[in-house]
Amino acid sequence: MAEFERDLIRERVRAGIANRRAKGLRVGRKPIILDAGRLAMMRSQGQTIREMADALGCSPALVHKTLQIQAA
Encode pLDDT of 45-57 as tens digits. Answer: 999 999 999 999 9
On whether the CB atoms of residues 45 and 17 are closer than 8 A, the answer is no
Domain of 4 in residue numbering reads as 1-29
Statement to judge: residues 43 and 72 lie in one domain: yes
Q: Name the residue with higher pLDDT: 66 or 71.
A: 66
Where residue 69 falls (left for φ over 0; alpha for ψ -120 to 50; beta otherwise) is alpha
For 4-55, write each residue's pLDDT tens digit. Answer: 999 999 999 999 999 999 999 999 988 888 888 899 899 999 999 999 999 9
Looking at the structure of the chain, the number of domains it has is 2
Amino acid, res. 52: M
Q: Are residues 47 and 66 in the same domain?
A: yes
Residues 10 and 35 in one domain: no
Both 52 and 67 in one domain: the answer is yes
The stretches of the chain forming alpha helices (DSSP H) are: 2-22, 36-44, 49-56, 60-71
| Same domain assignment for residues 71 and 37 | yes
Do 31 and 61 contact (CB within 8 A), yes or no? no
User: Is residue 18 located within the same domain as residue 46?
Assistant: no
